[in-house]
Amino acid sequence: MDCYTTYQPIFRPRVVAVVGASASGGVTPGNEFIRHSRAFGYDGRMVPIHPSAPSVEGLPAAKSFAEVGEMVDFAYIAVGAQHVPGLIAAAAGKVRYAQVMSSGFGEVAEGRALEQQVVEAARTAGVRIIGPNCLGVYSPRGRLSFIGGASPEPGSVGVITQSGGLGVDIILRGQSRGLRYSGLVTLGNSADVGPAELVEYFLADPDTKVIGLYAEDIKDGRAFFRALRTARGAKPVVVLLGGQTSQGRSAAASHTGSLASGAEIWRGLARQTGIALTRTLDEFLDVLLAFQALAPRRDRPTRRCVLFGNGGGTSVLAADAFGSRGLDVTPMPRPAIDALGKLALLPGTSVVNPIDAPAYTLRQEEGRIAERILDIVLQEGKPDAVVMHINLPVFIASTIQGVDVVQNLVDAALRARARHPGQAHFALVLRSDGAEPSERRRRELRDKVVRQGIPVYDEMANAADALAGVAFYERYVAG
């Protein structure tokens, strides 16, 4: 069986069993999983497993996996840790994947033996374990969710996380930024199914365009390396690492041993496989968004960036941020500067790069001036990426109203990009003062613009992180 078919039951199960949902009015994680997935429109068969109740959450219950009467693709298990080994043993031949939410296993010293028991029971039973100590699976296409508030809209970002709680952040904060997921699986302790296997699944999944991984300890590191090495950058992979010390081996008997920290090994592995390493949750989401929205170029890795927007200091700081991430913000070629010079932009506008256009310049022609500027930038400047930034409160709080300059600026960018397809990656930075009018405007614009293939960021430094991640991947696949 190919890898895609093998792991698909995790994300598109036809038959789901839920162990640990209360029939007596209590709300356990099991009840929540049933409720959220039904609200999501799960249309397969969902069977609560309950020792006595005839129904749970209005669904007919079974007393055991055996009583379900057909193969369970995915069992959601949230019961006390001590009951798990027996439950898994009883799942032999009746369950494909069992996700164990329960904690009290390998994450605490006294639970290690129990985790080993679960793993052995699973091997004997032929059941694959996800977890333990995790939160669930989120799959918009499979219509499953372990949390409320998650978007039902399917997307192209596949995520594997060794922390369930961080998985919640990734889903919710990510979707606010415009990310849409093909699936997210929380692996917890990864006692059986590990990140390497699910990376292979997402590599094979036609709905997944970019893969995100939050990793603390990859036990199958060697398989992970092999999978990515074989893939040769077929899809971008963005990694957020937790718990990597910069310390070498404590008992090292060699120079090499004292220098070989986890962080150093990951840095090397990134160079070998093209995975983009990130340092914070925000950077992780920002880079994922860039890969969701943009089409990486194999023939021309991103290097030369043109920055364009209002705010002198913002432009200077932005150039620093891009420069420190290995992206060029150098003056555009002469013909571009000359052509921009002929536009009769108002005094105070600098057209070299960054193009520092004060708000009064951006208001020229009710904002449509931006289209002419960007046309010249794309035509004569031939950049690899263009980042346009708008300081929203300056326009929102202005006494000059009546014309929606911000909308005109954004439309100008969209039209200019459409006239020069494939020339440059486009990113938009909508800067806010944190007050509600700016925040609301940013939310509305972000939602629309990301769908058109332009990632939107809060600050120029975020855009720099995101494009640096894209550039790293592009350099890798360019060879």
Instruction: State the number of binding residues for other proteins (CB under 8 A).
Output: 24
In whole angstroms, how far apart are CA 364 and each of 279, 345, 410? 40, 8, 14
Q: Least distance in Å: CB of 227 to other proteins?
A: 12
| CB-nearer residue toward other proteins: 25 or 479 | 479
Asked if 265 is part of the footprint of other proteins (rule: CB under 8 A), the reply reads yes
Choose which of 264, 338, 365, 447 interacts with other proteins (CB under 8 A): 264
Asked if 253 is part of the footprint of other proteins (rule: CB under 8 A), the reply reads yes
* 167 residue type, one letter: G
Choose which of 6, 28, 244, 258 interacts with other proteins (CB under 8 A): 258
Taking contact as CB under 8 A, which single stretch among the options 203-211, 248-256, 286-294, 391-399 is the one that binds other proteins? Answer: 248-256
| CB-nearer residue toward other proteins: 249 or 448 | 249
**Counting beta carbons within 10 angstroms of the beta carbon of residue 23, is it exposed (0 to 12), middle (13 to 18) or buried (19 or more)?**
middle
User: Residue 54 CA to chain centroid, in angstroms?
Assistant: 40
- Beta bridge partner(s), residue 240: 214, 278
Query: Measured between alpha carbons, how far is 264 from 266 in angstroms, rounded to an integer?
Result: 5
Binding marks (x or -) toward other proteins, 210..239, rule CB under 8 A? -------xxx-xx--x--------------
Asked if 344 is part of the footprint of other proteins (rule: CB under 8 A), the reply reads no
Asked if 269 is part of the footprint of other proteins (rule: CB under 8 A), the reply reads yes
Query: Measured between alpha carbons, how far is 438 from 454 in angstroms, rounded to an integer?
Result: 19
Taking contact as CB under 8 A, which single stretch among the options 170-178, 234-242, 249-257, 324-332 is the one that binds other proteins? Answer: 249-257
Asked if 247 is part of the footprint of other proteins (rule: CB under 8 A), the reply reads no
Q: Least distance in Å: CB of 149 to other proteins?
A: 35
Asked if 478 is part of the footprint of other proteins (rule: CB under 8 A), the reply reads no
Please name the residues in contact with 124: beta carbons below 8 A apart, sequence gap of 6 or more.
Answer: 89, 92
Please name the residues in contact with 222: beta carbons below 8 A apart, sequence gap of 6 or more.
Answer: none
**Counting beta carbons within 10 angstroms of the beta carbon of residue 153, is it exposed (0 to 12), middle (13 to 18) or buried (19 or more)?**
exposed
Asked if 477 is part of the footprint of other proteins (rule: CB under 8 A), the reply reads no
Asked if 242 is part of the footprint of other proteins (rule: CB under 8 A), the reply reads no
In whole angstroms, how far apart are CA 387 and each of 219, 383, 428? 40, 10, 6
Q: Least distance in Å: CB of 231 to other proteins?
A: 15
- Mapped onto helix, strand or coil, the DSSP state of residue 373 is helix
- Beta bridge partner(s), residue 259: none
Which residues bind to other proteins, rule: CB under 8 A?
Answer: 217-219, 221-222, 225, 249, 252-260, 264-265, 267-269, 271-272, 479
